[in-house]
Amino acid sequence: MRTMNDYRDDNLEEEDDEIVEREQPDLETTIAALQAEEDAFNSTIFYGLSNLSVDDIERIKPAWEGLSPEYREKLMQQLVDTAETNFELNYHALAVYGLTDEEAGVREAAIELLWEDESLELMDRLIDLAQWDEAILVRAAAASELGRFILLGEIGDLPELETIRAQDAVITLLTDEAEDVEVRRRALEAISNCSHEIVDDAITEAYESHDERMKASAIFAMGRTNDKRWETFILREMDNSDSAIRYEAARASGELEIEEAIPQLARLSREDDREIQNVAIWSLGEIGGGQATRFLSVLAEEAEEAEDDDLLELIEDAIGSASLAGDDIDFDFEDD
């Protein structure tokens, strides 16, 4: 799980309101800001790089290529964060250009920045990157994103022949023993988005692997299958000493709406690890029902007392989800 906050500039938080409100600067102003801000980012850059045309990309190339590789990588990763919080900003053109950048970190972030693109053109690029890019993390990111297209095929929104091409690409990566584990695990996660005959055996093999990364991805894949056969494994792994495995088990319990997981999720929601805490709260909302809602309400009161607005917002969202789904379960949270 990559945390984009590693690259957040100290001054960015102060500029959030400005980013939302200001108009897009012209390209010359944007280029000047890029060239002047080698160690920082500002709202001129964030807005100026949004909604670029193909012609704009051609004009911006000399300035972009003149930036240091480290700055380009940090900037592209920061754009991922910015796009997640401001839906008015569109970095599609820059991200497509970034797929060809010589810096692997830029290519990896560009893939993530194209998460809304469901075009066959992007699918073709992802297949190519997953198979042939020299960087492990880029191949892994491309394999992971192919999961979106496999899911589109599963629900009938992608032609069968194109779906098979995406499936074949990730299966080839998954079954290649010479491929890096990071790529193979992302390929497993991607193929779990469909009902392909290889999925169950692939999950079992990965789960029984001695590599904890493959095991974590196996649990992730269990949650994606919508198959209750994996419940016992998921419940068992919520007590695993490995935090990455606990995280994936907590998420999978929510995706499969495992009611028996509520006691363990209640405990995980009070872990010091914020990511585990957050995913446990999300899963409680997905499972729903009276007991989950009551416990989430207790958490909300605690977050309000602690003045933790981010956590409170997450809990309130989970309460909204919980009120729409799940059956009531008898459970004494005080005993837990």
Model confidence at 8, pLDDT cuts 50, 70, 90, reads very low
Per-position DSSP letters for 259-274, written without gaps between them: GGGHHHHHHHTT-S-H
- Is pLDDT of 195 > 60? yes
Residue 22's pLDDT is 61
pLDDT given at position 235: 98
Cα 75 to Cα 30: distance, rounded to the nearest angstrom:
13
- Among 331, 256, 251, 249, which Cα is nearest to 298's? 331
At 323 the pLDDT is 84
The pLDDT assigned to 37 comes to 63
Across 63-67, 148-152, 228-232, 331-335, least confident range: 331-335
Residue 15 has pLDDT above 70, yes or no: no
Check whether 117 has a pLDDT greater than 60. Answer: yes
Neighbours of 104 (CB within 10 A): 18
In order of their start, the domains of the chain are 4-231 (1.25.10.10), 232-336 (1.25.10.10)
The percentage of the chain sitting over the pLDDT mark of 70, rounded to a whole number, equals 89
How many residues comprise the chain?
Answer: 336
Q: What is the pLDDT of residues 311-323, one digit of tens each?
A: 999 999 999 999 8
Alpha-carbon distance of 279 to 256, in angstroms, equals 14
pLDDT of residue 3: 38
Return the pLDDT at 24.
85
Residues 139-174 pLDDT 10s: 999 999 999 999 999 999 999 999 999 999 999 999
> What local confidence, expressed as pLDDT, does residue 38 receive?
62
For residue 156, give the DSSP letter.
Answer: T
Name which of 13-27, 62-76, 90-104, 193-207 the model is least confident about: 13-27
Q: Which amino acid is at 284?
A: L
Given a cut of 90, whether residue 40 has pLDDT beyond it is: no
Q: Counting runs of H as helices and runs of E as strands, what totals does the chain give?
A: 19, 0
Mean pLDDT over 237-244 rounds to 96
* The dihedral formed by the CA atoms of 188, 192, 198 and 201, expressed in degrees to the nearest 10: 80
* Mean pLDDT, residues 51-78 taken together: 94
On average, the pLDDT of the chain sits at: 90
CA distances from 280 to 76, 269, 273, 276 (A): 30, 5, 11, 6
Of the candidates 314, 252, 263, the one whose C-alpha atom is nearest the C-alpha of residue 291 is: 263
Tell me what the mean pLDDT of segment 324-335 comes to. 47
pLDDT at 331 over 70: no
Question: How confident is residue 4, by pLDDT bands cut at 50, 70 and 90?
Answer: very low
Confidence of residue 223 (pLDDT cuts 50, 70, 90): very high
Range 42-66 average pLDDT: 94
* pLDDT given at position 280: 98
For 246-302, what is each residue's pLDDT tens digit?
999 999 999 999 999 999 999 999 999 999 999 999 999 999 999 999 999 999 999
Q: Considering the entire predicted model, what is its pTM?
A: 0.86
